[in-house]
Amino acid sequence: MAAGAASRLAHLALPLLQRLPPETAHALGLRALKLLARGWAAPPVPATLAVQALGLRFAHPVGLAAGFDKDGDYLDALGALGFSHVEIGTVTPRPQPGNPRPRLFRLRGAGALINRMGFNNRGADYVAARVAGAGYRGIRGLSIGKNADTPLERAADDYLACLRTLYAVADYFAINVSSPNTQGLRALQGSDALAGIVEPLQEERERLAARHGKRVPLLVKISPDLDDAALRAMAAAVRSHALDGVIATNTSTQVDGFERELAKSRGGGISGAPLRTRALEVLRLLRVELGGAIPIIGVGGLMSADDVRTRLAAGASLVQLYTGFVYRGPALLHECLRDLH
């Protein structure tokens, strides 16, 4: 059966992959998964785990966070592992190489990663074709961003270009204004700057909804490094712009105790266990500010089934894995699903 086979193979392969440079390991792991997963089907889950959110039906709450499958090349393989949703991207209108290597670092003892990838991706046209060609039956999130060489004051054009190119293949959009690895991007979380992105996106979405006969939800993905006042302002903006949901959180540039590691990697964002506490705090604060009506996807430091249960209990409608999945492989997803039964 797919689930068992994937876990056993990963159990054998992970220690070997983890001896390689992290980006090489990531690319090799994905290629191996793609070869092996042919013919696998996602493991069945009881209908009681299904989540109705964003006007969509998710088979269960656990998905894969953005940045793992940047170009939509591995959707079918990742779907065969059993994720209810995969957030593809972050995609920019034009292809770009991202930051120079090395740009991904393991902090194994801390259960963490530091990355300063910088939106390496093949561009919106390529991704639209890959996603259209995939057989994956789960929910397809599309994370959208701006090219590194687009000036910040023209950022809205890039988000709009991605929206148009990817609309037909997306089940939801994540407006990524929280990556620390594109200069100035996080400034787009400020109220005026955010309005300058979100308002044109909303207008364009209405036009595209009429043309395509489907209204694709727009979510915003936020940084854990916003202080509480900025989080409250963000929640107010989410309400006033009638955004459909929030994804909390992206990586952090300021986790106490990791200053030396961040200096050594020359910047980047931390993910994994050290992010757990702040990501949970952010979720709790947003839940209070937003009430129950606006779904929040909880991400950041989910390393065990226990973490997932806590995040759902704190008000996340859905959750996403990244660093936990890098260290533990498909066994983590299956542990989470068993635990939720």
- Which residues are identified as catalytic? 179
Six-digit token string for 113: 């990663």
Instruction: Report in angstroms how near the CB of residue 38 gets to ligand FMN at its nearest.
Output: 26
Q: Is 167 left (phi over 0), alpha (psi -120 to 50) or beta?
A: alpha
| Beta carbon of residue 246, minimum distance to ligand FMN (angstroms, whole number) | 12
Shortest Å distance, C-beta 41 to ligand FMN: 26
In this structure, the number of other CB atoms found within 10 A of the CB of residue 45 comes to 18
Q: Which is nearer to ligand FMN, 66 or 337 (CB)?
A: 66
> What are the C-alpha distances in Å from 25 to residues 15, 259, 330?
10, 26, 15
Instruction: Return the CA Rg of the chain.
Output: 18
Nearest to ligand FMN of 5, 26 (CB atom): 26
Residues that bind ligand FMN (CB under 6 A): 65-67, 89-90, 104, 113, 115, 117, 119, 143, 176, 179, 221, 250-251, 271-272, 275, 299-302, 321-324
Q: Tokens standing for 111?
A: 């259960």
* Cβ closest to ligand FMN, residue 72 vs residue 324: 324
Structure token digits, residue 308: 């997932």
Closest separation in Å from C-beta 143 to ligand FMN: 5
Cα 31 → chain centroid: 20
For the chain, helix (H) and strand (E) counts, in that order, are 12, 13
In the bound state with ligand FMN, the residue whose beta carbon lies nearer, of 79 and 298, is 298
Nearer to ligand FMN, 40 or 220 (CB): 220
Q: To the nearest whole angstrom, how small is the minimum distance from the Cβ of residue 239 to ligand FMN?
A: 22
Going from the C-alpha of 163 to that of each of 53, 97, 197, 207, the distances in angstroms are 21, 21, 12, 11
User: 10 Å Cβ neighbour count for 239?
Assistant: 14
Which CB atom, from 74 or from 119, has the smaller least distance to ligand FMN? 119
Q: Hey, is 144 helix, strand or coil?
A: strand
In sequence order, the 6+-apart residues with CB closer than 8 A to the CB of 324 are 111, 272, 301, 302, 303, 304, 307, 332
How many angstroms separate the CA atoms of 115 and 240, rounded? 33
Residue type, 320: Q
Structure tokens at 93: 């209108």
